[in-house]
Amino acid sequence: MEITVTTAEQLRLTADEFELIKQKLGRTPNFNELCCFSAMWSEHCSYKNSIKWLKTLPREGKKMLVKAGEENAGLMDIGDGYGVVFKIESHNHPSAIEPFQGAATGVGGINRDIFTMGARPIASLNSLRFGNLKEAKTQHLLAGVVHGIGHYGNCFGVPTVGGEVYFEDCYHTNPLVNAMSVGILKNGETISATSGNVAGNPVFFVGSATGKDGIGGASFASADITEDSAEDLPAVQVGDPFQEKKLLEACLEVMKTGAVVGMQDMGAAGIICSTSEMSAKGGAGMRIDLDKVPTRQKDMKAWELLLSESQERMLLVAEKGKEQAVIDVFEKWDLPCSEIGEVTTDGMLRFYMHGELEAEIPAHELVLGGGAPQNDRAYSEPKYFDQIKAFNPDSIAVPSDLKSVAEQLVQIPNIASKKWVYVQYDSMVGAGNSSTNAPSDAAVVIAKPTNKALALTTDCNSRYVFADPYKGAMIAVAEAARNIVCSGGQPLGITNCLNFGNPYDPQVYYQFVQSIKGMGEACRKFDTPVTGGNVSFYNQGPEGAVYPTPTIGMVGVLDNADAKMTLDFKEDDDEIYLVGVQRNDINASEYLHKIHSVEYSPAPHFDLDEEFELQHEIKKMIDKKLISSAHDISEGGLLITLLECGFNRNKGFDVTTTDHNIRKDAYWFGEAQSRVVVTVSKQNRDDFNMLLEKMEITVTYLGTVTGGAITIDGESWGNILNWKEKYDNAIGNLLAGHESESALSSI
């Protein structure tokens, strides 16, 4: 067939990119080669519209062992001779079309990135965004995604220990499904994703056989979601967690044979991605016989084999002469293992079918940092900023019945318990989650075989980022660090999943650029370098782009698991303190957005230096064992924080307003940052007060913990059990009361 610019555009390449490909090859590519460029130069694989700004993020640190972009995931030192490997990635578009498999394969893919490096995954987290929960489509997507995550993670044997779920209208068409995995390995035992540069070393295909599912998935991830996207269903992969469990064990075992030169997951873009990236890293090439690839469908064409994203597959390069050691391991685990080619040293990828050359491409020209385009996009301030700047809080009357407002607030899906979601996840399978029965701001898992623990969290309030991308992204990093610190940990590093709309829209690109700038500044302040992550553009629908959502996955370290701090009130008469400053601020709050239907308002108060000092002092209180609980103030403000502290042990509180110059709704429901609620026991009061005398940060006495009764400014607000019932059942009641309930039960 004749290859023209029209062919290229049908494969989601631009006319300029087609001309660039012809220049690099010195000829017009054939169809197989053009398909390879289409996949590898997609936004999903090449980061062509983001790499310029990603390079500005801090990637250096004294605990960094493997930097961003060097391997499948980042690696940081946790001491005692061990490292933590962690990464977060998106599977948004597949989940929008086929929520169960889209979410399940997202979990599978991110776990493969971890164990391909030689680490055993010990924990999973996620960050999920959906549309209005009252709508049937949202309920269908929520049910499918949660079921997919739970099914894959539970069967694979890695506990899901944390995450977040938000519901906003802008995610109606395009939900966000971000999956994070965390693993542990012994330092020095990392396996690299490289081909090496020794001619004749054998290339193995290991894992599940290849089918037509997932073909073009990388390009699909770089396209807009439309009403016709269901026709792209073949682009959604199908996963098998039991097969992945066998692949995990086989990979960890084969690494110990000493036969492995390098290994990489066949994720986005399949064989063409793993062969090109491993070859480019090794400064080598490969000769591959595609007809030797194990398949589960007959008569697959060369381009289908190259681009298939069938799950649970790896590309492995072994040392020549040690082939049998590799074969024996995969035969033991009853997994396909086929020698499909060999390493060459001329930098060329040559793919054959039954002896016929089907494609010939320089590996370097396909990959990020090689020949893939690096665009410099224009950006401009979004027009809606005018509406944000025009917002006047005085236009919102302070409600006379705060209790009634609070009852509405506690049942808003963004605030209410996500119990309906997390009961479908196994938080204990395969590893020790030390926070299951003692809630904390971050999940705390034991880092076996060390005596240390890891504090893990995913965070981003995308409405803050929408209001102010620079400040909002800083807040996302700061809240993640705050959650780690409030759980007793020391922040170590971050991975990010950057979810935005179309990068060719200057206003969307402005959101992206400013978010990167804010994220970078906050990471430098907290000494939490970026270990890697994922950029996901084109998250939008007919109604427009989603909120800019730079999700932060953060890992922290506790030198001893017993040092963890929990968020729940412990004993009656414990004193309750607010660490941080109360502010006259209702901006971008759930209260303002959901109760008063205000879409445009500035981001809440945030000062990076103030936040840094707050976390330093909280860490000091925990290290000195002066406080009994710590819980940061986030969505819903001070009142919701107090309620959440009471739920676990059914404790109430007797508190009073301490600053009558602040409007009452801002005092109780405002979301100004850099505030933490702590409690102090009777025996620690003197030592705590002595510490306060040496602190420059504001600490305010609020009241005491009670046996269940809630009293605010002398007024009875009932019992904690009444509030707990509303909080726990709000999401379940919404789902059960909707006409789409039958759709949920069919998942």
Question: How far is C-alpha 149 from the geometric centre of its chain's CA atoms?
Answer: 13
- Return the structure tokens found at 46: 């090449």
* CA-CA-CA-CA torsion sign (479, 484, 485, 490): negative
Report the C-alpha gap between 125 and 549 in whole angstroms. Answer: 16
Report the C-alpha gap between 469 and 459 in whole angstroms. Answer: 15
Q: At 84, which helix (H) or strand (E)?
A: strand 82-90
CA distances from 677 to 491, 617, 707 (A): 20, 13, 18
User: Residue 603 has what DSSP assignment?
Assistant: P
Nearest to 486 by CA among 652, 655, 677, 638: 677
* CA-CA-CA-CA torsion sign (103, 105, 106, 108): positive
User: Residue 537 has what DSSP assignment?
Assistant: -
* CA-CA-CA-CA torsion sign (332, 148, 107, 224): positive
User: Residue 430 has what DSSP assignment?
Assistant: T
Question: How far is C-alpha 714 from the geometric centre of its chain's CA atoms?
Answer: 43
Q: Which of 44, 593, 605, 631 is catalytic?
A: 44
Classified as helix, coil or strand, 265 is: strand
Q: Look up 140 and say whether it is catalytic.
A: no
Classified as helix, coil or strand, 534 is: strand
- Return the structure tokens found at 322: 């040690």
Nearest to 696 by CA among 578, 587, 617, 591: 617
Report the C-alpha gap between 13 and 103 in whole angstroms. Answer: 27
Ramachandran region, residue 80 (left: φ > 0; alpha: ψ -120 to 50; beta: rest): left
* CA-CA-CA-CA torsion sign (593, 598, 603, 605): negative
User: Residue 320 has what DSSP assignment?
Assistant: T
Angle, nearest 10°, between helix axes 241-255 and 136-156? 40
Q: Which amino acid is at 439?
A: P
Q: Which of 91, 151, 605, 631 is catalytic?
A: 91
Angle, nearest 10°, between helix axes 402-409 and 637-647? 60
Non-local CB neighbours of 2 within 8 Å, separated by 6+ positions: none
Match 């901006």 to its residue by tokens: 587
CA distances from 435 to 78, 152, 488, 564, 640 (A): 19, 22, 12, 9, 21
Report the C-alpha gap between 97 and 544 in whole angstroms. Answer: 18
Q: Look up 738 and say whether it is catalytic.
A: no
Residues noted as catalytic: 44, 91
